[in-house]
């Protein structure tokens, strides 16, 4: 029932207006009844949005071409999975997914927020309602997915072949869960500004939301990077493309927020800064949405763009960023500052972390927006790419990564750098050893490569040191140590895992960039090629047929040590007749942590084929590290102290320690 979905969407918009006004008035006047409206309205709004989304998804699944968006982005012959993922593989549908997640998070606050002060909850829901109302209006006014065609065309125009991939099922929903998750932090901050006070429970609420959003954003970025890596056939995992930067900036700011929220929760310090950071993080998410949708920047990942939409989002952007920052300027002075601390302390380390991360965010922001500004001012067109970011972002990251292992080992309030350094001696020795081994024994290793490997090992070893020190390694027997390890708060594991994951990602990046090899050549069937010790034999091209495409699939045999085939890699050129589009399916074979990657070019007249192949050592660690970071965030979320609303069961300490497994 397409029209039911359309009606539900309109109704959800009406409810979001109620949600944004009534609880706000209730909180201003202290009227309990008005404040109580927020909860049920938010939940109902979510249910209606879900209904609307389900209606659109079923129209896509059933190839209902009387819906314009289905007609433009689907085809009756697509496999069912791509028919369904096609629901959000276009601008209109993805915006609906965006608000679906927004209302879902709002509903979570409404349902589980009973232990929040009533006025705070009312204000948070009202701010969520404002964001919701703005985006519902945006959808209805410029990007309505329910526009109908009468009479209905008989066949659709197919989903962009690049998007016909499992990546579309995972990457955008994760990314939106991340982007939109930060809206809750934003709403809490604005609510606190409206009230003019920050409760102690504020940080308790904001921290887990930051964790959730950060976890999904990490996963979304990692997934997107892997998707681009295998789908685009260029073998690159990160291009410093504006669209990538658009998701990377909230991640950097969100990482800073994650750390400053810890200080705020534990020590009631950095309150105002954390609040500002929460506003900035979500603002950067909105900016990302604007950059991606408006087409003001050229990107390799862009959606179909429409300037009218860009102007609308720009208005939303100005309204929310301008409004919240103005409110901040007016109210920040009323908020009480928190506890004091010595520069050398856990807080000090976290402040340093924030300083580096926000500066890094600023560099990425400048690099992304400078071409826009320059074009607006002088008309000159430039592109800012990897060389710029290598020169600015790189030097900021190196010292930050170097100090990461110190942070968790410093005490709150007043730390002891010397003691922390002593504990890190083993990790430091390991890192130096790794650096020397890389520099001296691996052919072609540059100073930079050795430094990178050393830094990565330093991060990994530092994270493990943290766990070892906290479980009392060296001073107690191994049995006691294990027991203590099992009894450590889960957030300690979370921190260690996240830092470890960062080290793994760095190792993957350094491995791929510094030790990867690459060849471009033409091959005839039967010819072999050798790359970094791997021999491949080209078997030839065979034409094949898929559900909505035809392809020429090239087979390559991986030759083992004895000259016997040891598995095969296939890569294909696909032709999608509906859009008259060719895509390249790259062939990837994972060997240990490394990958052989090959991509097929055009066939020459003499039957030979252009082939580009890469050897990418340790490349899987780039995304594996991302997964470990996600696991760290999940671990921290499981920590009872962070689970908001969880009943504070008093377990006996003995019981907690009794189970070493």
Partner 1 sequence: MLFWVIAAILTLGASLAVLLPLTGGMKGPSPAGDHDLEVYRDQLSELDRDMARGLIQPGEAEEARAEIGRRILRLGAAMQPGSAAPKSARSARWVASMAVLAVPLLSWGLYGMLGSPDLPSQPLAERLAKNPADSSVDELVARAEAHLAANPSDGKGWDVLAPIYLRLQRFPDAVTAYRNAIRLDGDSAVRQSGLGEAIASAAGGIVSADAQNAFEAALKLDPANAKANFYLAVGLAQEGRKAEAVAAWQKMLGQLAPDSPWRSAVQQALGEAGGPAVADATPAAGPDAQQVEAAQQMSPQDRQAMIETMVAGLDDKLKQNPRDEEGWMRLIRSYVVLGKAEKARDALGRAVAAFGADSEQAKKFTAFAASLGVTATE
Partner 2 sequence: MTRKQKRMSVILAGLAFLGAAAGLTFYALGQKASYFYMPADLATASVPPGQRIRLGGLVEKGTIVRGQGATVAFSVTDKQKSVKVTYTGILPDLFREEQGVITEGAFGPDGVFVADSVLAKHDERYMPKEVADGLKAKGVWQESKSQ
- Token pair for 648: 């504070």
Among 81, 582, 656, 658, binds partner 2 (CB under 8 A): 582
Strands 528-531 and 534-545 turn out to be antiparallel
**What, of partner 2, partner 1, none, does residue 255 touch, CB below 5 to 8 Å by kind?**
none
Instruction: Give me the least distance between CB of 267 and partner 1, in Å please.
Output: 8
Nearest to partner 2 of 25, 332 (CB atom):
332
Nearest to partner 1 of 34, 321 (CB atom):
34
Report which DSSP code applies to 148.
B
Instruction: Give me the least distance between CB of 163 and partner 1, in Å please.
Output: 19
**What, of partner 2, partner 1, none, does residue 308 touch, CB below 5 to 8 Å by kind?**
partner 1
Does 233 sit near partner 2 (CB under 8 A)? yes
Burial class (CB in 10 A: 0-12, 13-18, 19+), 474: exposed
Which of 483, 487, 430, 439 has the alpha carbon at shortest distance from 459?
430
Task: Please tell me the distance from the alpha carbon of residue 83 to that of residue 641, in angstroms, as a whole number.
Answer: 42
Chain center to CA of 583:
26
Q: Which stretch binds partner 2 (CB under 8 A): 123-131, 478-486, 488-496, 593-601?
A: 593-601
Q: Which stretch binds partner 2 (CB under 8 A): 134-142, 264-272, 293-301, 401-409?
A: 293-301
Does 319 sit near partner 2 (CB under 8 A)? no
Instruction: Give me the least distance between CB of 51 and partner 1, in Å please.
Output: 8
Residues that bind partner 2 (rule: CB under 8 A) add up to a total of 49
Instruction: Give me the least distance between CB of 391 and partner 2, in Å please.
Output: 4
Task: Please tell me the distance from the alpha carbon of residue 406 to that of residue 413, in angstroms, as a whole number.
Answer: 15
Q: Which residues contact 381 (CB under 8 A, 6 or more apart)?
A: 371, 374, 375
Please check whether residue 556 is in contact with residue 526, taking contact to mean a CB–CB distance below 8 angstroms. no
Please check whether residue 400 is in contact with residue 335, taking contact to mean a CB–CB distance below 8 angstroms. no
Report which DSSP code applies to 67.
B
Q: Which stretch binds partner 2 (CB under 8 A): 172-180, 359-367, 468-476, 508-516?
A: 359-367
In 167-293, beta strands by DSSP E: none
Does 300 sit near partner 2 (CB under 8 A)? yes
Nearest to partner 2 of 106, 338 (CB atom):
338
Q: Which residues contact 650 (CB under 8 A, 6 or more apart)?
A: none
Instruction: Give me the least distance between CB of 596 and partner 2, in Å please.
Output: 16
Q: How far is CA 273 from CA 111, 222, 263, 283, in A?
A: 29, 28, 11, 15
**What, of partner 2, partner 1, none, does residue 142 touch, CB below 5 to 8 Å by kind?**
partner 1
Please check whether residue 46 is in contact with residue 107, taking contact to mean a CB–CB distance below 8 angstroms. yes
Nearest to partner 1 of 475, 661 (CB atom):
475
Please check whether residue 328 is in contact with residue 283, taking contact to mean a CB–CB distance below 8 angstroms. no
The mark string for 368-407 relative to partner 2 (x by CB under 8 A, - otherwise) is --xx--------xxxxxx-xx--xx--xx-----------
Does 301 sit near partner 2 (CB under 8 A)? yes
Site residues for partner 2 per CB under 8 A: 160, 162, 233, 295, 297-298, 300-302, 304-305, 343, 355, 359, 362-363, 366-367, 370-371, 380-385, 387-388, 391-392, 395-396, 520-522, 573, 579-584, 599-602, 604, 610, 612
């Amino acid at each position: 029932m397409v029209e039911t979905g359309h009606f539900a969407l309109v109704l959800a918009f009406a409810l979001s207006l109620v949600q944004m006004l009534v609880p706000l008035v209730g909180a201003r006047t202290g009227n309990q009844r008005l404040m109580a409206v927020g909860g049920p309205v938010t939940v109902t709004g979510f249910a209606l949005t879900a209904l609307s989304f389900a209606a659109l998804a079923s129209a896509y699944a059933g190839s209902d071409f009387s819906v314009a968006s289905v007609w433009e982005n689907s085809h009756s012959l697509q496999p069912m999975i791509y028919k369904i993922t096609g629901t959000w593989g276009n601008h209109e549908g993805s915006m609906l997914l965006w608000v679906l997640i927004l209302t879902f998070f709002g509903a979570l606050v409404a349902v589980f927020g009973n232990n929040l002060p009533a006025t705070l909850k009312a204000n948070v829901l009202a701010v969520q309602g404002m964001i919701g109302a703005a985006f519902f209006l945006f959808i209805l006014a410029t990007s309505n997915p329910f526009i109908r065609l009468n009479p209905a065309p008989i066949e659709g125009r197919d989903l962009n072949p690049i998007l016909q991939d499992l990546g579309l099922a995972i990457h955008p929903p994760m990314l939106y869960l991340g982007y939109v998750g930060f809206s809750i932090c934003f709403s809490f901050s604005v609510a606190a500004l409206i009230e003019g006070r920050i409760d102690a429970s504020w940080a308790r609420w904001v921290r887990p939301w930051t964790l959730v959003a950060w976890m999904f954003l990490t996963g979304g970025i990692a997934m997107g990077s892997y998707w681009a890596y295998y789908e685009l056939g260029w073998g690159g995992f990160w291009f410093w493309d504006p669209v990538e930067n658009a998701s990377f900036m909230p991640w950097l700011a969100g990482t800073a927020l994650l750390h400053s929220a810890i200080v705020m929760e534990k020590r009631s310090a950095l309150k105002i800064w954390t609040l500002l950071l929460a506003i900035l993080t979500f603002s950067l998410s909105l900016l990302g949405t604007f950059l991606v949708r408006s087409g003001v920047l050229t990107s390799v990942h862009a959606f179909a763009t429409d300037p009218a939409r860009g102007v609308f989002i720009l208005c939303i952007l100005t309204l929310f960023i301008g409004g919240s920052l103005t409110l901040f300027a007016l109210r920040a002075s009323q908020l009480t500052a928190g506890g004091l601390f010595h520069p050398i302390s856990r807080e000090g380390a976290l402040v340093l972390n924030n300083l580096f991360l926000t500066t890094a965010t600023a560099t990425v922001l400048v690099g992304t927006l400078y071409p826009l500004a320059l074009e607006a001012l002088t008309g000159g067109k430039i592109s800012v790419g990897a060389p710029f970011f290598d020169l600015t972002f790189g030097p900021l990251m190196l010292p930050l990564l170097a100090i990461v292992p110190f942070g968790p080992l410093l005490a709150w309030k007043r730390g002891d750098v010397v003691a922390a350094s002593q504990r890190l001696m083993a990790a430091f020795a390991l890192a130096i050893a790794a650096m020397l081994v890389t520099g001296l024994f691996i052919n072609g290793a540059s100073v930079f490569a050795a430094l990178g490997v050393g830094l990565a090992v330093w991060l990994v070893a530092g994270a493990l040191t943290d766990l070892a020190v906290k479980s009392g390694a060296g001073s107690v027997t191994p049995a006691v140590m294990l027991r203590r390890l099992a009894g450590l708060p889960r957030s300690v594991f979370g921190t260690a895992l996240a830092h470890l994951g960062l080290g793994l990602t760095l190792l993957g990046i350094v491995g791929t960039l510094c030790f990867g090899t690459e060849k471009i050549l033409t091959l005839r069937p039967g010819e072999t090629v050798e790359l970094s010790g791997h021999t491949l034999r080209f078997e030839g091209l065979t034409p094949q047929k898929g559900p909505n495409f035809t392809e020429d699939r090239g087979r390559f045999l991986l030759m083992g040590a004895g000259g016997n085939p040891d598995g095969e890699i296939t890569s294909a050129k696909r032709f999608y007749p509906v859009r008259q589009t060719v895509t390249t399916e790259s062939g990837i074979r994972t060997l240990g942590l490394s990958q052989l990657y090959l991509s097929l070019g055009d066939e020459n007249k003499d039957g030979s084929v252009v082939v580009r192949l890469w050897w990418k050592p340790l490349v899987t660690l780039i995304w594996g590290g991302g997964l470990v970071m996600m696991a760290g965030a999940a671990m921290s979320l499981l920590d009872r102290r962070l689970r908001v609303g969880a009943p504070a069961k008093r377990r006996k300490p003995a019981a907690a320690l009794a189970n070493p497994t």
